A and B are shown apart, each in its own frame.
Chain A
Amino acid sequence: GENVEQHPSTLSVQEGDSAVIKCTYSDSASNYFPWYKQELGKRPQLIIDIRSNVGEKKDQRIAVTLNKTAKHFSLHITETQPEDSAVYFCAARNYGGSQGNLIFGKGTKLSVKP
């Protein structure tokens, strides 16, 4: 089955710097890769996602890149702000396969210092 590894587990940056979180997946049939943000004590919320027919997707200060050959994808946050502090989870899914459920990474705790 699918396995998703996420690095780093913790990341601390200064306000205004960029942050990058990387994930690798094992199942080459996976074709959907979302990123969820979870603030302390809150529910996970989707912030951006990418499908396997696209190499990069941007939404204001956040972007996701996908390298299907290497089976890894990354979240990029530019001009970080204190409100970006949260735990970020990547996930992978094979739509259309027999095991078409989201497999999550273990999360990255991002701290943005003012």
Chain B
Amino acid sequence: NAGVTQTPKFRILKIGQSMTLQCTQDMNHNYMYWYRQDPGMGLKLIYYSVGAGITDKGEVPNGYNVSRSTTEDFPLRLELAAPSQTSVYFCASSYERGSYEQYFGPGTRLTVT
């Protein structure tokens, strides 16, 4: 199993540009999450999904959109990038049966200038 994979690893955006961060998991997990991690801070939940076709907002959803058309994929869309969105983005997944462990992807480091 590859686990949770994310692309790209690094990206520099200009203010106002848009991009999609990709996330894929091959563990057949029903729950998936997007977090952002700012320097010296913990992880803040952006959006989450409890299954294909179902998404919901987390703590910091403004400026982002998500979709979940399949169990495996959970892309995060940034529209009109702003410097405040400079961060490391982590995707995670969990099975939510028995174990509540969340498995994280390697992260995407995004800089908006």
Contacts and interface: CB of A to CB of B under 8 A. Distances in A.
B100 A95 contact: yes
Contacts of A44: 43, 90, 104
Interface residues of A, number: 20
B42 A104 contact: yes
Contacts of A32: 100
B50 to A, nearest CB: 10
Contacts of B42: 4, 6, 89, 104-107
Interface in B46-64: 48, 58-59
Nearest to B48: A101
Contacts of B41: 106-107
B102 interface: yes
A104 B100 contact: no
Interface of B: 33, 40-45, 48, 58-59, 90, 100-102, 104-107
